[in-house]
Amino acid sequence: MYHILVEGGCAGKCCGGSDITCVTADWRMDRVYRACYCDEGCLRTKDCCYDYPTECPGKDVWDQDRSGGWVGSGQSPGPGFITTMDLFGKGRRQHDITPLDPGFCMEYKMESLTPHCRVEKRPHAHWMQYLREGYVVCVACRPPAMRNHSGSCQGDGQESDSEELLHWQAVGNSRCRGTWKKVQRTAHCSCPHVHSFLFI
């Protein structure tokens, strides 16, 4: 049996060569949640964990998956990481953020989420209980999460169409995650405070 690492992602887990035991369970670069790898071989097999490019050295060229099938080159960003407005900017309310603030807002319709969000009781993660399927939520993309050159945040799905399922993960509880679909990009967020979040 392969050794599945307890924590997801590649932080501190990079392996050289092709090592099938260098595996964990997390989002892959192709936006699928399943076994993903942190070895150099994942570059060829397109099954690297989403954070491999930032945590481990390597190139973003793939040509064959671990089962022998050929795949295209290139990579997709991992999930969008979100947190509550209250943990950023000293609790500044969303309606206090003006269109002049740098950044923008993305609106999404929640499609699915894990049950771990609703049972969260810790004070710093209580906001996760407000995540619900079918609701429209607002997520602000502002510095420092906004990438300077691209004008976007990881996983915001700006280039996707409205039918593409995108992935998100709550900061503070790696088991609270799910999917959403892009509704629109706006200058500033107009959702209720409990449904307004930030990209990290």
Kindly state whether residues 103 and 177 are assigned to the same domain.
Answer: yes
Kindly state whether residues 192 and 95 are assigned to the same domain.
Answer: yes
Counting the structural domains of the chain, the total is: 2
Q: In the prediction, which pLDDT does 13 show?
A: 87
Kindly state whether residues 20 and 64 are assigned to the same domain.
Answer: yes
Question: Strand, coil or helix: what is 33?
Answer: strand
Closest CA to 62 of 44, 42, 49: 44
* Cα dihedral 148→12→177→188 (10° resolution): -20
Kindly state whether residues 88 and 67 are assigned to the same domain.
Answer: no
Instruction: List the chain pLDDT tens, one digit each, 200 residues.
Output: 333 434 578 888 899 888 999 998 887 776 677 888 999 888 888 888 877 877 786 544 333 445 443 333 334 457 888 999 875 544 344 444 444 457 899 999 999 999 989 887 888 888 998 999 999 999 999 887 886 667 888 889 988 888 899 999 998 887 898 999 999 999 999 999 999 999 98
- Among 37, 56, 76, identify where a domain stops: 76
**How many CA atoms within 13 Å lie on the side-chain side of 147?**
11
Kindly state whether residues 58 and 87 are assigned to the same domain.
Answer: no
Kindly state whether residues 97 and 71 are assigned to the same domain.
Answer: no
DSSP-assigned states of every residue in 73-85: S-----PEEEEEG
Q: Rounded to whole angstroms, how far apart are CA atoms 134 and 83?
A: 19
Kindly state whether residues 147 and 170 are assigned to the same domain.
Answer: yes
**How many CA atoms within 13 Å lie on the side-chain side of 173?**
24
- Domain of 128 in residue numbering reads as 80-199
- Among 41, 76, 111, identify where a domain stops: 76
Kindly state whether residues 90 and 69 are assigned to the same domain.
Answer: no
- Among 30, 59, 76, identify where a domain stops: 76
Kindly state whether residues 85 and 126 are assigned to the same domain.
Answer: yes
Kindly state whether residues 97 and 176 are assigned to the same domain.
Answer: yes
Nearest-5° Cα angle at 177, 79 to 117: 155
Kindly state whether residues 71 and 131 are assigned to the same domain.
Answer: no
pTM check: above 0.75? no
Structure tokens at 127: 């906001």
Closest CA to 52 of 25, 32, 78, 31: 78
- Buried-exposed string 109-135: b where 16+ CB fall within 10 A, e elsewhere: ebeebbebbeebeeeebebbebbeeee
Kindly state whether residues 115 and 17 are assigned to the same domain.
Answer: no
